[in-house]
Amino acid sequence: MIAQGYELHRDEFLHLDQAHHLAWGFVSIPPFTSWTSLLIYHLGNSIFWIKFFPALYGALTILIAWKTIETLKGSLFACILGATSCLLSAYLRINTLYQPNSFEILSWAFLFYCIVRYISSEKDKWLYWFAIGLAFAFLNKYNVMFLTIGIFIAVLLTKHRNIFKNKTIYIAACISLVIVSPNLIWQISNGLPVITHMKELSSSQLVNVDRISFLKEQFLFFLPSFFVVISGIAGLFLHKPFRQYRLIVYTYILTICLFLFFKGKPYYALGLYPVLIAFGAVYIDNLTGQKWRKLVYPVLISFIVGISILYIPLICPIFSPEKIENDPEITGLYQKSGQLRWEDGKEHHIPQDYADMLGWKDLTKKTLQAWATFDPQQQMKTLILCDNYGHAGAINYYSNRAIEATSINADYADWFPGKEKTIENIIQVGGKISDKSYHYFDTIYESGSVENRLSREYGTPIFILKRAKLPINGESLKQILLNKD
């Protein structure tokens, strides 16, 4: 679902670079994504494999929704309705991007599946599977703690609170704790960077989250099939056979409330919906009955597909950047939906998310040209310093790591060269040249900039700083950069 002309998204580059700096944790995310990145690297690091894994996680999410419907005794028609509802939704966009979100949705769907299986069978093995699933969800994204709190309170509100009398739950909890313990140790050893990261995220991004918009986007994520989600919520309250599963809808409400209170981003809640879609499909199945099923289901699925014809172009880059800019009908479609307005509050030619998928090859090309101005001996004493993680990751990826760029932004601050790196020259990608820089280097000039005007990186400069006047190494430069204000 990606038109030609687009490149990787800026966030994908950071995750791919984590494969070369394996650890039990990172400033930005836990370690699970880095393991997938390492596998991608050994498979050839091609675009195919980068896109394969989020697509795989998306397909497995649909499979789990299907299996949940089967557990609830839903018909084949209900399974098809549930699968179609999951497929033609915001998941279609999420599962084209190599980010932790795809596995997060899969892991949450699996956790709910374990709950459904445990309630329906009362077999303790599902508690063990839940514990393992929770551990890997935690190692993927810490957001699962919101879900965990929601589940815990929901259990206390229902008859399922008796589960705390079952010793298996404590054995399962210990198993989960053992699995995540290396990451917990890493967090403690590194001064709990997750807290620092959350504070920065809260002050820079979450502070701008509008709670009304959060709720509105929950609807928009599943616009073609929102009636199935609503049916799932209604069925859990109204359908007598679903009474034993009511803790699921309590979990949904409680987790949404937690996200609203802490101003979470709208997509944080996406993992809550596969199970609601499963219950919705089965509830609709029961309402229609066998007599009307063959008539009603084709109509419902046709409705979802029909709405998706208009919906999918709004969430997936199926049109080229040039077509979005130059075709008045398509431009109007994006403009009316508000997608041409970026974070800066201004109207642009294409959506910001798409603009983040352009200009990286040009940036790398210009950086390589700057690198080529130094002879091999000087290259060993030259540092490629980037303004942000997108720049650094893109250069490393598109140059096939022929050169290595770094930054003090995000995880790259932990990977910054140390005393062993002697620096006489710097290729600075992005940012501005400060007055202090002229005290440190003999010659400073701009060697090029990103020329793709549809890119969010349009105009990003590449500067060359030659012949340091004072001895500089990686450690001293990092201190200078961190204290530049």
Between residues 158 and 342, the one the model is more confident about:
158
Q: What is the pLDDT of residue 244?
A: 94
The closest alpha carbon to 82, from 225, 185, 259, belongs to: 225
The pLDDT-based confidence of 207 (bands split at 50, 70, 90) is low
Q: What is the mean pLDDT of the chain?
A: 91
Between residues 213 and 82, the one the model is more confident about:
82
Q: How far apart are CA 416 and CA 474, in angstroms?
A: 7
Task: Give the count of alpha carbons within 13 A of 234, CB side only.
Answer: 13
Lookup: tokens for 59: 């397909």
Q: Does position 209 have pLDDT exceeding 80, yes or no? A: no
Q: What is the pLDDT of residue 407?
A: 93
Q: How far apart are CA 273 and CA 218, in angstroms?
A: 10
Annotate 257-300 with DSSP letters as a single string: HHHHHTT--GGGGGGGHHHHHHHHHHHHHHHHHHHHHHHHHHHH
Name, in order, each residue with C-beta under 8 angstroms of 42's C-beta and a sequence gap of 6 or more: none
Q: What is the pLDDT of residue 485?
A: 47
The pLDDT-based confidence of 328 (bands split at 50, 70, 90) is confident
pLDDT tens digits, 351-363: 888 999 999 999 9
Q: How far apart are CA 179 and CA 189, in angstroms?
A: 17
Q: What is the pLDDT of residue 120?
A: 94
pLDDT > 90 fraction of the chain, expressed in percent and rounded: 67
Angle at 136 (CA atoms; ends 180, 393), nearest 5 degrees: 95
Lookup: tokens for 220: 């928009």
Q: How far apart are CA 378 and CA 466, in angstroms?
A: 10
Q: What is the pLDDT of residue 104?
A: 97
Mean pLDDT to the nearest integer, 202-220: 74
C-alpha distances in angstroms, 333 versus 91, 336, 388? 21, 5, 32
Lookup: tokens for 346: 């201004």
Q: How far apart are CA 331 and CA 338, in angstroms?
A: 11
Q: Does position 183 have pLDDT exceeding 60, yes or no? A: yes
pLDDT tens digits, 123-142: 999 999 999 999 999 999 99
Q: What is the pLDDT of residue 55?
A: 96
Domain ranges of the chain: 10-315, 321-355, 360-482
Q: What is the pLDDT of residue 187?
A: 92
The pLDDT-based confidence of 474 (bands split at 50, 70, 90) is confident
Query: Would you give the DSSP letter of residue 410?
Result: G
Name, in order, each residue with C-beta under 8 angstroms of 263's C-beta and a sequence gap of 6 or more: 202, 206, 207, 209, 211, 214
Q: Does position 276 have pLDDT exceeding 80, yes or no? A: yes
The closest alpha carbon to 246, from 235, 258, 257, 259, belongs to: 235
